Structure 1
Amino acid sequence: MSDIKKIDVRNLVRDSYKKIAISNSKKSGCCDNNELSLKKSALEISRKIGYSDEEILGAPEETNMGLGCGNPQLIAKIKSGETVIDLGCGGGFDCFLASKKVGANGYIIGVDMTSEMITSARRSCKRHQYKNVDFRLGEIENLPVADNTADVIISNCVINLSPNKQRVYNEAYRVLKKGGRVAISDIVLMKELTSEMKQDEKLYCG
């Protein structure tokens, strides 16, 4: 996307996930065929990218939007009492899974730049009475988190959307405690994209 400005990329991504969050928030829970189809699709996607049925059922249903590309929990090895930061937390699916692993003495911080996603995650947090999860509005290139905070950083298919990936890694290093670890599930470019692909906004966010 060489001729699309970084700010345009960021706004493009934010607008795309804003629409997803708004659409997801309108779901009633007992639903028409289209809504049932979307829920089934999210469930199938989660299974295919590595989440067990136990994990899928262990988070609020509305937080599973089928947006990931893997399961960072598999390699994060999250322990009781740890502090975990989720880069690009979306509706909070991975945060709620991690909250059970860290327990009452642990803490989860989810960061996302889309206010609608943060609103949705906070709503789920309140509804299901999670006490050890905090959702913060912010960019993963400029984390609203103090230095040396996290034992573990997780991220699920979000860093690829950043126009400044090195800045994301610099921020991750800043907020990690000494000896902390990073567990990322993401998309890696294996060959050059065509110029048409680079200019396709739907492909970039999809």
Structure 2
Amino acid sequence: MTDPDTTNTAAASDTKDNSRVRDQVRAHYAAAARAVTARTGTGCCSTSPQDGDCCAAPITLDAAGFGAARYTDHDRSHLPADAVTASLGCGNPLAVAALDAGDTVLDLGSGGGIDVLLSARRVGPGGKVYGLDMTEEMLDLARRNAREAGATNVEFLKGHMEQIPLPDDHVNVVISNCVVNLSTDKAAVFAETHRVLRPGGRLGITDVVAENHLTPADRATRGNHVACIAGALTFAEYRDHLTAAGFTDITITPTHQLADGMHSAIVQATKPAA
């Protein structure tokens, strides 16, 4: 028979650990936002992730942006410099998320707003793009970038991807760039994503994914949670979570290696039509 006191203690410990990880992630991205303004700091998703960085060894931020290398020169040329500099992802979700004029789009963990602003251009004035982020400094930066870009069809929301502050069946497409791995409750992320998508809606994200043979302990030896490594799901776990949330047409395609057994990957799925 399970001891209730032991169970409650373990649950409280997990909650405390999850809160600690979230605080570390928030602090890291707040520092990254401040670094953009100062033009010095850290980027994300190099080939040698280190503790304390999101998928990257420390680098100097410049006008090119580190994660911006995943975007075309044409895309970058239409963006405010700080939106490019603040690009901290491990891929380009817009390369796989087919956006149509008039679509409503949600970007999970929108950071400095690069994917929101690019999406806004694609969906046009008849569409709408939401950016969701939990870090006030990143939201301030993103809103400033949106004003500079003259984007009027965007809205940045403060909140968590485990509790998305949007109604059911509200968006056509959900995108995200190297963020889902940072969550300590992936099941909630995918359930919420499924909830806010309209029937027939599409998920198109890039994320860090581990090879199936890597245990949680193995992943932790390759980088910590804030480094986008320890919290990454395996390919099988990713597929299982998406299936459990109700998604179909799931594809997970690795694009490049970030560490031994760890890959940046394109994740696509569909919410079945009603």
TM-score (norm 2): 0.65
2:68 alignment counterpart = 46
- Whether the 8 Å contact between 1:111 and 1:136 is mirrored in structure 2 is yes
Structure 1 segment 94-133 matched on structure 2, within 5 A = 94-133=115-154
1:82 alignment counterpart = 103
Which stretch shows the higher mean deviation, 119-128 or 140-149? 119-128
Which residue of the other structure, out of 199, 202, 208, is the alignment partner of 1:187?
208
1:60 alignment counterpart = 80
For 2:20, the aligned partner's letter is D
1:59-78 per-residue CA deviation (whole Å, 9 max, x = no partner) reads 22201223110111011110
Which residue of the other structure, out of 23, 31, 53, is the alignment partner of 1:19?
31
Rounded to whole Å, the distance in 2 between the matches of 1:123 and 1:195 is: 36
Structure number with greater CO (CA < 8 Å, separation at least 6) is 1
- Whether the 8 Å contact between 1:198 and 1:204 is mirrored in structure 2 is no
Larger radius of gyration: 2
Judging changes above 3 Å, is the alpha-carbon distance between structure 1 residues 103 and 13 closer, same or farther for their aligned structure 2 residues?
same
- Whether the 8 Å contact between 1:147 and 1:176 is mirrored in structure 2 is yes
* Secondary structure at the counterpart of residue 190 of structure 2: helix
Judging changes above 3 Å, is the alpha-carbon distance between structure 1 residues 15 and 120 closer, same or farther for their aligned structure 2 residues?
same
Rounded to whole Å, the distance in 1 between the matches of 2:136 and 2:117 is: 18
* Secondary structure at the counterpart of residue 210 of structure 2: coil
Rounded to whole Å, the distance in 1 between the matches of 2:224 and 2:122 is: 39
Which residue of the other structure, out of 193, 198, 209, is the alignment partner of 1:172?
193
* Secondary structure at the counterpart of residue 92 of structure 2: coil
Judging changes above 3 Å, is the alpha-carbon distance between structure 1 residues 105 and 59 closer, same or farther for their aligned structure 2 residues?
same
Rounded to whole Å, the distance in 2 between the matches of 1:88 and 1:142 is: 12
Rounded to whole Å, the distance in 2 between the matches of 1:186 and 1:199 is: 15
Structure 1 residue 199, shift from structure 2 partner: 7.9
For 1:46, the aligned partner's letter is A
Rounded to whole Å, the distance in 1 between the matches of 2:225 and 2:203 is: 29
- Whether the 8 Å contact between 1:13 and 1:205 is mirrored in structure 2 is no
Residue 137 of structure 1 pairs with residue 137 of structure 2: no
Judging changes above 3 Å, is the alpha-carbon distance between structure 1 residues 200 and 152 closer, same or farther for their aligned structure 2 residues?
closer
User: Where does the alignment leave 5 or more consecutive residues of structure 1 unmatched?
Assistant: 29-36
The CA RMSD measured in Å over matched residues stands at 2.4
Rounded to whole Å, the distance in 1 between the matches of 2:225 and 2:161 is: 21
1:7 alignment counterpart = 19
Rounded to whole Å, the distance in 2 between the matches of 1:41 and 1:104 is: 28
Rounded to whole Å, the distance in 2 between the matches of 1:188 and 1:199 is: 13
Rounded to whole Å, the distance in 2 between the matches of 1:111 and 1:72 is: 15
Rounded to whole Å, the distance in 1 between the matches of 2:225 and 2:106 is: 28
Judging changes above 3 Å, is the alpha-carbon distance between structure 1 residues 196 and 131 closer, same or farther for their aligned structure 2 residues?
closer
- Whether the 8 Å contact between 1:41 and 1:66 is mirrored in structure 2 is no
User: Where does the alignment leave 5 or more consecutive residues of structure 2 unmatched?
Assistant: 1-12, 41-59, 231-274
For 2:110, the aligned partner's letter is C
1:136-179 per-residue CA deviation (whole Å, 9 max, x = no partner) reads 10001111111111000000000000000010000001100011
Which residue of the other structure, out of 169, 172, 177, is the alignment partner of 1:148?
169
Judging changes above 3 Å, is the alpha-carbon distance between structure 1 residues 56 and 132 closer, same or farther for their aligned structure 2 residues?
same
Aligned-pair identity in percent equals 36
1:76-102 per-residue CA deviation (whole Å, 9 max, x = no partner) reads 110100000000000100000000000
For 1:160, the aligned partner's letter is N
Aligned residues: 194
1:105-139 per-residue CA deviation (whole Å, 9 max, x = no partner) reads 00000000101100111111123321000001000
Structure 1 residue 182, shift from structure 2 partner: 0.4
- Whether the 8 Å contact between 1:18 and 1:117 is mirrored in structure 2 is yes
Judging changes above 3 Å, is the alpha-carbon distance between structure 1 residues 57 and 167 closer, same or farther for their aligned structure 2 residues?
same
TM-score (norm 1): 0.85
